[in-house]
Amino acid sequence: MKKYLYLITFCLMIGHVSCKKTENKPITYATFSDMPFYEKEDLGVTYNKRATTFKIWSPVAEKVKVIIYNKDIGGTAMEEDFLQQGADGVWFLVWEGDHEGKYYTYQLKVNGKWLDETPGIYAKAVGCNGHRGQIVDLKKTNPKGWSNDKGPVVKSPTDMIIYELHVRDMTIHPSSGSKFPGKYLGLAETGTITPDSSKTGIDHLKELGITHVHILPAFDYKSIDESKLDQPQFNWGYDPQNYNAPEGSYATDPHNGATRIKEFKEMVKAFHENGIGVIMDVVYNHTFDAGKSSFNQEVPKYYYRLNADSTYSDASACGNETASDLPMMRKYMVESIAYWAEEYHIDGFRFDLMGIHDVETMNDIAKKLKSINPSSFVYGEGWTASDSPLPIGERAIKANVPKLVNVAAFSDDMRDGVKGSWSGHKEKGFVSGKSGMDESVKFGIVASTQHEQIDYEKVNYSDTAWANEPTQTINYVSCHDNHTLYDKLKESNEKASEKQIKAMHKLANAIILTSQGVPFLHAGVEMLRTKYGVENSYNSPDSINQIHWDWKETNKDTFDYYKGLIEVRKAHPAFRMPTTAMIQKYLEFIPTKDDLLINYSIDGNANNDKASRILVFYNGSTRSKRVKVPKGKWKVIVNHEAANPDGIKDIKGGTHTINASSALILTQEEESK
């Protein structure tokens, strides 16, 4: 390679140890903490027309080489060369000339043994199946107008309405009308309709009224063979391979790293143009395989948390867990997240098994994102799948949310209080008439914050408030995990009619969309989505996972109801108060003798709401109830049939009937005093 002039210059610039091709003796460290820390944010491959720079961190390596290929799969290497050792464990090489499009791998010699070839943990572009990195000009991957692309401005996270989807699910069924089924470009399409002319895809989401899409893992993951996309394959994507490159199976050409980057950006831009933010589901807590991962081919075992006997700890229940508390792993996570925010304009991140990560790392990530985009939002699962060596006090779990800043967690308290236990498939919840769930639901209504009217001893999983502010709570009843809401209700209410199931279903998300905190919806829930009873569909076929867009016509009343609930939430800031102090001041629960009837009011034009008073009833019973409404004229904005912020009908104070398994929400709009 023609590189030596650049090497001399580069060595002088970074204060290298040596620019000779000498083999170093094995280096050992007493602990991982003794390894040098590299501060600069330039690891990986940096391209320009004059030269390509390769940089990798491995303080334990004896030799490091880069191998160049013309193809992403197969073929023989066209050339290879050794990297030079620099300071702080870094190895580097500057390859003179314009090498755009070439593929490469790294190979390191550690403890006298050559490890496997990998594209390196910082690879930003990869070929088919992610085995080789690719040198790309990122500027060429930008869609037209990309420099002006921005996501929606978010005043408070409580103004967000999040919709969780899988790239393939949304467009793979023929009824979606997509020209690019199952692809990034399928999600970028506008104007798609069902055979009966109902809106699908991005137009459907805009019609529904959600503010942000949460996309299941779309970085490069292991389980799909991208060379055989003509064969049936499916996976959610929670098996990370290359964290900084998009998944190839969703691209029109998985062999070209630049294609998947550009098409991912086109998807983001399309959402932004329609006023919808984009949140990425990220899985930094484990890798698909510890032994064969790129991390272990660079610095064996450094990036993983270990047991006392040096075996891999497994809080992820996937065979390993990463060590966010180690300096270079923390640096990696912060830089990787920042890269997606800056290069791809991602508006937020959902962390899988966030409890495996430490509080300091999560706070560093949130702080970095806020410096890039003040409207960014970070949230995750506030638990682990099993125990971890990381001390409990340091884990980013639900109980430690008060230690987190600008980071939210999912409320399993609200989820299981509303619909029943996630693991007890036959167990009912509040909406299906189970007594004793009211305090858990009320806890969700105040977004897991401190409120004097909550009896915390009766909350299902928490004995105290765990959110400092409502912006730290994600309220939901269903997501990709476990049964869909429809299937859960069918499973736990075997004798219920379809009409009764639909009523419970509507009540469940009426509670979510009119509670404080950040509401979260599972894709297709507005159409009574079913996975035909399959609980864990992570690798089930399209026949189980795909969105059937004819559901929208079949269940149009349910879609209209969800659409109306979202309009109600947007029209009434009282349902999305940004602070705990406001909730404590304005929201008051009205005692009832029936624990299947929740009644509360929000008074005083809360959060500058036009309504001076909002009265809310949730009837979880399978029977109708008689409720007392205070004197005066009231506008019904939600009942068992409809949701409309402009009003369904007017009623006067007195005794009224609230249907079984339904919500009743009333407003008065006298001016505040």
Beta bridge partners of 133: 104, 126
Give me the catalytic one of 226, 381, 487, 526: 381
Spatial distance between the Cα atoms of 520 and 214, rounded to a whole number of angstroms: 9
Distance of CA 177 to the CA centre of its chain: 26
Whether 381 is catalytic: yes
Query: What is the DSSP secondary structure assignment for residue 48, as one 8-state letter?
Result: -
What Rg value do the Cα atoms of the chain yield, rounded? 27
Using alpha carbons, select from 79, 128, 134 the residue that is nearest to residue 102.
Answer: 134
- Structure-block tokens of residue 17: 């140890």
Beta bridge partners of 216: none
Count the helices and strands in the chain (H runs, E runs): 15, 25
Spatial distance between the Cα atoms of 84 and 91, rounded to a whole number of angstroms: 5
Spatial distance between the Cα atoms of 330 and 345, rounded to a whole number of angstroms: 21
Conformational region of residue 112, where left means phi above 0, alpha means psi within -120 to 50, and beta covers everything else: left
- Angle in degrees, 0-180, between the axes of helices 498-513 and 412-419, rounded to the nearest 10: 150
Query: What is the DSSP secondary structure assignment for residue 343, as one 8-state letter?
Result: H
Burial class, 248, CB count within 10 angstroms (exposed 0-12 / middle 13-18 / buried 19+): buried
CA distances from 529 to 347, 442, 483, 546, 550 (A): 27, 26, 10, 9, 11
Spatial distance between the Cα atoms of 89 and 38, rounded to a whole number of angstroms: 7
Residues whose CB is less than 8 angstroms from the CB of residue 96 and which lie 6 or more positions away in sequence, other chains included: 1, 2, 3, 5, 6, 50, 51
Spatial distance between the Cα atoms of 74 and 60, rounded to a whole number of angstroms: 29
Distance of CA 235 to the CA centre of its chain: 16
3-state secondary structure of 95: strand
3-state secondary structure of 107: strand
CA distances from 544 to 296, 476, 539 (A): 36, 22, 10
Burial class, 593, CB count within 10 angstroms (exposed 0-12 / middle 13-18 / buried 19+): exposed
Give me the catalytic one of 220, 263, 352, 567: 352
Whether 281 is catalytic: no
CA distances from 120 to 27, 54, 81, 116, 643 (A): 21, 10, 16, 11, 52
Beta bridge partners of 322: 304
Query: Side by side, which strands form the sheet with 662-668?
Result: 587-589, 597-603, 613-619, 662-668, 625-638, 649-658
3-state secondary structure of 322: strand
E strands in 236-389: 240-246, 277-282, 348-351, 377-380
Spatial distance between the Cα atoms of 64 and 108, rounded to a whole number of angstroms: 4
Catalytic annotation, residues: 352, 381
